[in-house]
């Protein structure tokens, strides 16, 4: 086994973990920002504030009372799941590559 697939796998694993970590953080942050921007619209201010408070309350459940910590916990969990999925895909494609007969 050469060293090249190992570096390729580690690069893929790092990228999958990083993107899987950042995606829920961006989604949560964008949702809260959008709901807080609804507070500018006169008729939707109570709706936006109530929904943002509910999301922050949900995040506090995962973060021991801190919404920011809850967001980090959810991001880390998604990062681990992304790394596990990337490992599975690498294992399947690597085993398929090894079982393929050599062509002339």
Q: What is the model's pLDDT at position 92? A: 85
Q: Which residues contact 65 (CB under 8 A, 6 or more apart)?
A: none
Q: What is the model's pLDDT at position 1? A: 46
Q: What is the model's pLDDT at position 5? A: 64
> Closest Cα partner for 83 from 23, 7, 8, 13?
13
Residues of the chain with pLDDT under 70: 1-5, 97-104
Q: What is the model's pLDDT at position 101? A: 64
Q: Apex CA 35: angle with CA 66 and CA 65, to 5°?
A: 10
């Amino acid at each position: 086994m050469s060293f090249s697939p190992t570096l390729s796998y580690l690069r893929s694993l790092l990228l999958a973990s990083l993107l899987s970590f950042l995606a829920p953080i961006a989604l949560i942050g964008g949702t809260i920002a959008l709901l807080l921007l609804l507070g500018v619209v006169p008729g939707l201010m109570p709706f936006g504030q109530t929904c943002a408070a509910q999301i922050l309350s949900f995040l506090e459940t995962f973060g021991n009372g801190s919404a920011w910590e809850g967001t980090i916990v959810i991001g880390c969990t998604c990062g681990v799941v992304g790394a596990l999925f990337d490992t599975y895909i690498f294992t399947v494609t690597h085993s398929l590559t090894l079982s393929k007969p050599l062509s002339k």
